[in-house]
Amino acid sequence: MAHEESKPNQLPDRLNTSVAHSARVWNYWLGGKDHFEADQVAGDAYSSNYPLITTFAQESRAFLRRTVTYLAREAGIRQFLDLGAGLPTENNTHEVAQRIAPDCRVVYVDHDPLVLLYVHALLTSTPEGATTYVEADMRDTEKVLAGAAQTLDLTQPVALVINDVLGHIVDFDEALGLVARLVDRLPSGSYLSLSHSTASDPEHRAVQDAYNASGAIPYIFREPELTARFFEGLDMVEPGLVSWPNWRPDETTGRTTDRAGWGAVARVP
């Protein structure tokens, strides 16, 4: 077990630590501590065959930081609904938003038992704001919105954050329908911040295919043309749909690659 000293003594019965899990592998690539031996093995096997993956993980996280910064600072958003929150690392949505505006209210959605185990780390909040967690499959729209409504005022603008998790929904029409249902329930002036991994070279695709075949939860790459469809009917914020490092880069943005994933922010008219 990796970083054994950080783990609670009791693990949930439904937590399978013998098979790699994407959220825990991602945590490992980002330098976190909430993963197990199977996740390390899978992560090392992946990175040994495709070393850029750790850079891609960092680029995805940096995209999240910059988009949430924009939403809180420039768009004036004070409510965030983050789907597929994953495991807490640095620059979680609530941390970024509440650094800018302490009264921000943030709801995370996930159904991973390990996330539930560490939920106390996600639920820190400023006194002025709120940070809560809804245990739900993101495809269960009604449960997600009902849970979010206990913390957020869904008659006021909300930023819907979907950062690099839709690849776990293999059927594209299902993923498209999920986003459409949620966006349709948000009031005018809300925003969608969404990113999705792609793969511009066959080597990366081959390594991902091997990972998907290992028994881990699969992740499906999608090209930017498909990612653009999640934003249909919305008003794109400049610079539109671009690769992660090219979305409003700042002084900390690495420029090592623009091949990992694409994302955008758009306003609900």
What pLDDT does 12 receive? 52
CA distance 138 to 183: 13
pTM assigned to the model:
0.88
**pLDDT tens sequence across 126-144:** 999 999 999 999 999 999 9
Local structure of 194: helix, strand or coil: strand
| Beta-strand pair 159-163/235-236 | unpaired
Query: 23 or 220: which carries more pLDDT confidence?
Result: 220
Which has the closest alpha carbon to 105: 162, 148, 60? 148
**pLDDT tens sequence across 198-227:** 876 788 888 888 888 877 778 889 999 999
Containing 210, the helix (H) or strand (E) segment is helix 202-212
What pLDDT does 198 receive? 87
30 pLDDT tier (thresholds 50, 70, 90): confident
Compute the average pLDDT of residues 99-122: 84
Which has the closest alpha carbon to 198: 242, 261, 241, 243? 261
Question: In degrees rounded to 5, what are phi and psi of residue 192?
Answer: -115, 125
What pLDDT does 14 receive? 56
2 pLDDT tier (thresholds 50, 70, 90): very low
CA distance 245 to 59: 6
**pLDDT tens sequence across 37-96:** 888 888 888 888 888 888 888 899 999 999 999 999 999 999 999 998 777 777 889 999
Q: Is the pLDDT of residue 103 over 90?
A: yes
Compute the average pLDDT of residues 2-27: 59
What pLDDT does 43 receive? 84
Which has the closest alpha carbon to 145: 128, 160, 167? 160
* Percent of the chain residues past pLDDT 90, beyond the cut: 54
Question: In degrees rounded to 5, what are phi and psi of residue 263?
Answer: -160, 170
What pLDDT does 4 receive? 35
**pLDDT tens sequence across 171-203:** 999 999 999 999 999 999 999 999 999 876 788
What pLDDT does 15 receive? 64
Containing 224, the helix (H) or strand (E) segment is helix 224-227
What pLDDT does 257 receive? 61
Q: Is the pLDDT of residue 3 over 70?
A: no
* Average pLDDT of the residues of the chain: 86
5 pLDDT tier (thresholds 50, 70, 90): very low
Compute the average pLDDT of residues 242-256: 81
CA distance 28 to 40: 7
CB 162, CB 194: distance < 8 Å: yes
